[in-house]
């Protein structure tokens, strides 16, 4: 790159000689010689330029690649609380667009910055070597240019952050609508959602335009400035040349070239400053992700030996985002090997309750113990490996059915997979597919019915024969006879496993040894079906109303 700049600096000098001596004194040999040298120099310059672009681009891409990987692994490790706070849309922007701004900066700064400095310094030296009185012009022109640029950038900086956060909003709406496309269609909300998207998108456009408007001024302002300077030099240099004070036409031409280079290099630095300011805004946003220390901290005790009761001791919980108390003073003992059902109205806190056990969130007050050890002392991975979980919202991933089931046990053989699918009542429908277990299911399992997805998620949860199994309303989409067969098969497949079963239907809950009733965040009772039916008003209510519905 240095070579590239040197060749660039040499050109006006050669030209000056051609004009002064070649044309001025009719030395045609000199014209030919210098002309040839100029050609060679231009070619070398172009080649060097190409190489330096190539290397700086590679460096920048490598940098962006590493950064994205790091940021991604951060995001994967964020606790739920943090993902809630960042929002998915914003995380997507930060990992793509913001990192892109940083990449642009790296690719520019490695190249343009050095180049600009060299052109600037070289240009000044060369110009002064032609005639030292040019320093006067530089002295006037440069400060004005720098001030102008500074004013523009100062105006633009706060806008960059605003643009990025409006991009977050656009991504959020987009993401919601794409993943919820079916619901949007079913409720004929397209027009409404389009309008909502329009609002956020307009905001993004307006904010971007405000930035561009400021930036758009820089270019023309600089050109105008350059032209005025040119006229100035022409006038001043020209009159000096006519006076015959040693300044020749070629000198003035070369000086014009150099002043162009000098002003251009300042302009280049300004451009870099623009991407620095932009990258600074983006950098801060990426840094927030990189510095987000997961709020759920791993302990050191290896949980893999633990297999005791799960005890909730005075547990209270509020979501950090809302602060509203969701669970209040829960005291509950879940015996090793028992099946416990959790019953309660929607929003009463059932999902929250079970999410606390593998520490998706940490309790706000009280503590949870497994085999007498506070779960906060466990090494996180070993703790989570104890559980087979079927979340309320079935999450499958794009890929084949067998791949999805092997999430639960990556080295499972086909026989093992088939065995658990038989237990989960999934084998029959999977076999009926043309590609069987290799059937590719769309994103989030979009090609399967709700009940099919639930059964695949159950197979995935039980394949590793976990010590604790958590079903969060996991059989809600199954008809009663399939559900009955599933529990039948499950009880002979699992032996020592403790099962926590969140249910909406009393018929499902009745299978458990005990039923815990959650009402508005409090545990109101925990007993057998027979006892609850005798003593608990809430349970009686639910039981008889469902009995009526079943007819
Ligand atoms: N991620 C969250 N952030 C804030 N509040 C939440 C979150 N998830 C659930 N809630 C609130 O916590 C309460 C209990 O929710 P949940 O445990 O899902 O109930 P259930 O599973 O019994 O239907 C509800 O009021 C719900 O609005
Ligand atoms: Mg729930």
**28: its two tokens:** 């045609």
What gap in Å lies between CA 49 and CA 3, rounded to an integer?
Answer: 9
Length of the chain: 551
What gap in Å lies between CA 17 and CA 232, rounded to an integer?
Answer: 23
Q: DSSP string of 343-362?
A: EE-TTSSHHHHHHTTTTSS-
Q: How many CA atoms lie within 13 A of 17 on its CB side?
A: 15
Class of domain 390-465: alpha beta
Q: How many CA atoms lie within 13 A of 512 on its CB side?
A: 31
| CA distances in angstroms from 230 to 92, 117, 235, 245, listed in the order given | 48, 22, 8, 20
Over the stretch 58-95, which tens digit does the pLDDT of each residue have? 888 898 999 989 888 888 888 888 888 888 888 888 88
What residue owns the CA closest to ligand 1's atom 6? 319
Q: Is the distance from the beta carbon of residue 519 to the nearest atom of ligand 1 less than 6 Å?
A: no
Ligand nearest to the CA of 322: 1
pLDDT for 551: 52
- Which residue do the tokens 């300004």 mark? 270
Class of domain 299-386+468-476+498-551: alpha beta
Q: Is the distance from the beta carbon of residue 360 to the nearest atom of ligand 1 less than 6 Å?
A: no
Adjacent-strand bridge partners of 342: 502, 516
State whether residue 395 is helix, strand or coil.
coil
Q: Is the distance from the beta carbon of residue 521 to the nearest atom of ligand 1 less than 6 Å?
A: no
Q: Is the distance from the beta carbon of residue 84 to the nearest atom of ligand 1 less than 6 Å?
A: yes
pLDDT for 88: 82
Q: Give the residue ranges of the chain where pLDDT is below 70.
A: 1, 245-246, 443-444, 550-551
What gap in Å lies between CA 241 and CA 93, rounded to an integer?
Answer: 59
Residues 6 or more apart from 484 whose CB is under 8 A from it?
A: none
Tell me whether residue 322 is exposed, middle or buried, using C-beta atoms within 10 angstroms of its C-beta: 0 to 12, 13 to 18, 19 or more. Answer: exposed
Which atom of ligand 1 lies closest to the CA of 80?
1
Q: Is the distance from the beta carbon of residue 344 to the nearest atom of ligand 1 less than 6 Å?
A: yes
- Decide whether 2-291 matches 299-386+468-476+498-551 in CATH topology: no
Residues 6 or more apart from 138 whose CB is under 8 A from it?
A: 124, 127, 259, 262
pLDDT for 30: 79
Given the candidates 1.20.1560.10, 1.50.10.20, 3.30.70.360, 1.10.357.10, the CATH classification of the domain at 2-291 is: 1.20.1560.10
Q: Is the distance from the beta carbon of residue 326 to the nearest atom of ligand 1 less than 6 Å?
A: yes
Ligand nearest to the CA of 319: 1
Strand bridging mode 468-472 / 498-503: parallel
Strand bridging mode 514-519 / 498-503: unpaired
Which atom of ligand 1 lies closest to the CA of 345?
22
Ligand nearest to the CA of 476: 2
Interval between CA 253 and ligand 1 midpoint (Å): 75
Which atom of ligand 1 lies closest to the CA of 473?
21
Q: Give the dihedral of Cα atoms 9, 13, 19, 21; nearest 10 deg.
A: -160
Residues 6 or more apart from 75 whose CB is under 8 A from it?
A: 83, 91, 95, 289
Q: Is the distance from the beta carbon of residue 323 to the nearest atom of ligand 1 less than 6 Å?
A: no
Q: Is the distance from the beta carbon of residue 347 to the nearest atom of ligand 1 less than 6 Å?
A: yes
Largest interatomic CA distance in the chain: 120
| CA distances in angstroms from 226 to 139, 231, 254, listed in the order given | 15, 9, 15
Closest of 226, 233, 239, 238 to residue 255, by C-alpha: 233
Q: How many CA atoms lie within 13 A of 120 on its CB side?
A: 15
Q: Is the distance from the beta carbon of residue 451 to the nearest atom of ligand 1 less than 6 Å?
A: no
Please give the helix or strand (H or E) that residue 541 lies within, else none: helix 537-550
pLDDT for 253: 82
Closest of 317, 348, 288 to residue 94, by C-alpha: 288
Q: Is the distance from the beta carbon of residue 350 to the nearest atom of ligand 1 less than 6 Å?
A: yes
Which atom of ligand 1 lies closest to the CA of 322?
4
pLDDT for 550: 61
What gap in Å lies between CA 249 and CA 241, rounded to an integer?
Answer: 7
Mutate to test the pocket of ligand 1, among 341, 350, 352, 524 (most ligand atoms within 8 A of CB): 352
Mutate to test the pocket of ligand 1, among 351, 503, 542 (most ligand atoms within 8 A of CB): 351
Q: DSSP string of 159-197?
A: HHHHHHHHHHHHHHHHHHHHHTHHHHHHTT-HHHHHHHH
Tell me whether residue 139 is exposed, middle or buried, using C-beta atoms within 10 angstroms of its C-beta: 0 to 12, 13 to 18, 19 or more. Answer: exposed
Return residues with CB closer than 5 A to ligand 2 (ion): 351, 392
What residue owns the CA closest to ligand 1's atom 14? 349
What gap in Å lies between CA 318 and CA 384, rounded to an integer?
Answer: 22
Q: At what angle do helices 249-291 and 2-17 cross, to 10 degrees?
A: 160
Q: Give the dihedral of Cα atoms 527, 529, 530, 536; nearest 10 deg.
A: 60
**538: its two tokens:** 């809430």
Question: Residue 432: what are its φ and ψ, rounded to 5°?
Answer: -75, -15
- Please state the domain extents for the chain: 2-291, 299-386+468-476+498-551, 390-465
Which atom of ligand 1 lies closest to the CA of 518?
22
- Which runs of E-coded beta strand occur in 210-338? 310-318, 325-334
Note whether 31 and 23 are within 8 A (CB): yes
């Amino acid at each position: 790159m240095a070579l590239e700049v040197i060749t660039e600096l040499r050109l006006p000098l050669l030209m000056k000689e051609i004009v002064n001596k070649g044309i001025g004194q009719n030395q045609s040999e000199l014209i030919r010689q210098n002309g040839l040298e100029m050609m060679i120099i231009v070619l070398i310059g172009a080649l060097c330029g190409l190489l330096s672009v190539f290397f700086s681009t590679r460096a920048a891409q490598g940098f962006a690649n590493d950064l994205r990987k790091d940021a991604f692994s951060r995001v994967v490790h964020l606790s739920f609380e943090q993902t809630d706070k960042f929002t998915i849309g914003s995380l997507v922007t930060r990992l793509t667009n913001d990192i892109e701004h940083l990449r642009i900066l790296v690719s520019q700064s490695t190249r343009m910055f050095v180049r600009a400095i060299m052109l600037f310094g070289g240009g000044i030296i060369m110009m002064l070597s032609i005639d030292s009185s040019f320093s006067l012009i530089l002295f006037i022109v440069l400060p004005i240019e720098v001030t102008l640029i500074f004013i523009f950038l100062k105006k633009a900086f706060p806008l960059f952050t605003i643009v990025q956060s409006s991009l977050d909003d656009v991504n959020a709406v987009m993401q919601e609508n794409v993943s919820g496309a079916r619901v949007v269609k079913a409720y004929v909300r397209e027009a409404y959602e389009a309008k909502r998207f329009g609002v956020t998108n307009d905001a993004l456009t307006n904010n971007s335009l405000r930035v561009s408007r400021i930036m758009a001024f820089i270019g023309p302002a600089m050109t105008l400035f350059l032209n005025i300077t040119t006229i100035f030099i022409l006038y001043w240099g020209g009159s000096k040349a006519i006076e015959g004070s040693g300044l020749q036409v070629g000198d003035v031409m070369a000086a014009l070239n150099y002043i162009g280079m000098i002003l251009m290099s300042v302009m280049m630095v300004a451009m870099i400053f623009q991407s620095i300011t932009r990258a600074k805004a983006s950098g801060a946003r990426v840094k927030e992700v990189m510095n987000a220390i997961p709020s759920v901290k791993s302990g050191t005790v290896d949980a893999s030996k633990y297999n005791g009761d799960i005890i909730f001791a005075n547990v209270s919980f509020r979501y950090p985002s809302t602060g509203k108390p969701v669970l209040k003073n829960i005291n509950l003992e879940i015996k090793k090997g028992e099946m416990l059902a959790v019953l309660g109205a929607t929003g009463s806190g059932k999902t929250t309750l079970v999410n606390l056990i593998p520490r998706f969130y940490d309790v706000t007050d009280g503590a949870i113990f497994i085999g007498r050890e506070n779960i906060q002392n466990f090494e996180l991975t070993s703790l989570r490996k104890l559980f087979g979980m079927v979340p309320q919202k079935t999450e499958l991933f794009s890929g084949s059915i067998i791949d999805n089931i092997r999430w639960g046990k990556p080295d499972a053989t086909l026989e093992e997979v088939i065995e658990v699918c038989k237990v989960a009542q999934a084998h029959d429908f999977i076999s009926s597919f043309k590609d069987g277990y290799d059937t590719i299911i769309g994103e989030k399992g979009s090609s399967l019915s709700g009940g099919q997805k639930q059964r695949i998620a159950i197979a995935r949860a039980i394949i590793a024969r976990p010590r604790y199994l958590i079903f969060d309303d996991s059989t809600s989409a199954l008809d009663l006879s399939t559900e009955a067969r599933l529990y039948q098969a499950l009880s002979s497949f699992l032996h020592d496993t403790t099962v926590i079963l969140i249910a909406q239907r009393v018929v499902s809950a009745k299978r458990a040894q005990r039923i815990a009733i959650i009402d508005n965040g409090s545990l109101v009772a925990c007993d057998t079906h027979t006892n609850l039916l005798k003593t608990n008003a809430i349970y009686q209510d639910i039981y008889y109303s469902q009995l009526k519905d079943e007819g």
